[in-house]
Structure 1
Amino acid sequence: MISVIRMLFAGLRLLGPARSSDLGGWLLKTASPLIPVNRVALANIRAAFPEKGEAEVRRIARAAWENLGRTAAEYAHLKTLFDYDYHNPGADSRVEVTGIEHFIALKDDGRPGLIFSAHLANWELPAICAAAYDLETTAVFRAPNDPAIAAVVHEIRSGAMGGLAAAKQGAAFAMQGVLEKGGHLGMLIDQHFTRGVVVPFMGRPALTNPIMGKFARRFECPVHGVRVIRLPDHRFRLELTPPLDLPRDANGEIDVQGAMAMMTAVVEGWVREYPEQWLWMHRRWRPKMISAAALAKSDHGRATAPVFKAT
Structure 2
Amino acid sequence: MTSRRAVLSAAVDLLRDAGVASPEHDAAELLAHVLGTTRSQLPLVDEVPAEALASYDDLITRRAAREPLQHLTGTAYFRHVELAVGPGVFVPRPETELLAGWAIEVAPRGGVAVDLCTGSGAVAKALADERPDLHVHAVELDEPAHRWAERNLEGTGVDLRQGDFATAFDDLLGAVDLITCNPPYIPLEAWESVAPEARDHDPHLALFSGADGLDAIRVLERRAALLLRVGGVVGFEHADVQGESAPAVFAATGRWADVRDHADLAGRARFTTARLAR
TM over 0.5, shorter chain: no
TM-score band by shorter chain is: 0.3 to 0.5
TM-score (norm 2): 0.41
* Structure with higher strand content: 2
Q: Which has the higher contact order (CA 8 A, sep 6+)?
A: 1
Name which one, 1 or 2, has greater alpha-carbon Rg.
Answer: 2
